[in-house]
Structures are given as C-alpha cells and as structure tokens.
Structure 1
Amino acid sequence: MTRPRYTAPMPDAIRHQLRAGHHPARAVPCPHCRAAAHKPCVLRKSGRRLPQPHPHRVTAWVLATACCPACQVTPGVPCHHDVHPRRRQEAEETA
C-alpha cells in the first residue's frame, strides 16, 4: 500500500521556522563553495559538510538583507568600502 504524496508548496514563513537551528545566511547560495540556498556549506576538496557557513556566504547574506546605517545603501547594494560592522549587526538583529 502506498501513501499519497502531498506536493503543496510550503510557505516561506513556515520553512524558516522549521530551519530555526540553522544560520540565517543559509538562505542565500554560497559564493565560495557553490552550495545552493538552504544547503550547508561544504569543503571543496573533501565534500565534508560544515556546521557553520563560510564567511563569504555570511557577507553575501548581509548584503542581500540589510541596509547599511553607515553609508546609507539599500539591501543588495554593496557598501562603499567594506561591509560595515553595523550592517552585520542590523542583519543579525532582523533575522
């Protein structure tokens, strides 16, 4: 006897609540190891999964989600020099 498979898409709000134990940076793809969104970062040579995302992925998440209070840029726009610590703090507070 086979069970029916339900294929209704899961709303994003519920999906993020179920993944509450993961770092919020996993919502974006990793530019370092090319891990897809919502997948863990891996070591490029051995393929071993990492418990925390790469710093490049965290930076990409910060740029995609937070406004910078120091240089007044919107999400998706990089800071004028480097990512400011205040922008990282704002991204972590809103997550």
Structure 2
Amino acid sequence: MTARKPGAPMPAQLRALIHSSVAHPARTVPCPHCHASAGRPCTLRTTGQHLPEPHPQRVSNWAQAAAVCPECQVEPKTPCHDAGRPLRYVHDRRTTEAKETAA
C-alpha cells in the first residue's frame, strides 16, 4: 500500500463533484460583501477562512437574479420594493421561491 503524500492536490474532477453537490446556489453570483467571485465560497475578511454559507447580501442578489418575488410581484433582476421604496434585501418569500426553483 502506498501512502499519500501530505498535502497532495485533490484531482480536479473530484473537487468539482464535491463542490457542486454541496455548494449553495448563491455561489453562482459574486459576493458584494467579501468580494468572492462566482463559484468561490464566501470568506471572512479578517482571516480568509471559508464560510459554510454565503453572506446574506450574496443570497439576496442571487434570489433577485433567479426568481420572481411573490410578495411585490417584480420580475427577476428587479429589486424588491415596499410601497415604492427599494429594499436593501429581497423579501424572504423571494429567497424561498429561488431555493425551490433551484432544487
């Protein structure tokens, strides 16, 4: 039996399979908070540690791009609003809708 060298790189096919099966669908858009590019996990700005879940603004941007809002009835890529005032984040129902369509 041969021992694997410490720190040997993981084959690209295996890495892609692992990341695609557990990655949050919000990773398809860049993160405005930590500036992680599309496809990369969010990180802590101070330590660079990878986060298991994306930042809330990234999830919001993804939901805005991916789903119609059932709350305020806006089309994808249009920000949610409350009585004509644009919201910083999307409605919770829009995030739920985006998750359901991604599954």
TM-score (norm 1): 0.76
Residue 84, structure 1, aligned to residue 91, structure 2? yes
Aligned-residue CA RMSD in angstroms?
Answer: 1.7
Percent identity (aligned): 56
TM-score (norm 2): 0.71
Give the total of aligned pairs.
Answer: 80
- Tell me how far 1:20 sits from its aligned partner: 2.3
Cα-to-partner distance string for 1:19-43 (whole Å, 9 max, x where unaligned)? 0211100110000000000001011
- Tell me how far 1:71 sits from its aligned partner: 1.3
Large movers: runs of 4+ above 3 Å: none
Cα-to-partner distance string for 1:46-67 (whole Å, 9 max, x where unaligned)? 1111111111111111111010
The equivalent residue for 1:8 is none
Q: Secondary structure at the match of 2:45?
A: coil
Can you give the 5+ residue segments of structure 2 that lack an aligned partner in the other structure?
Answer: 1-15
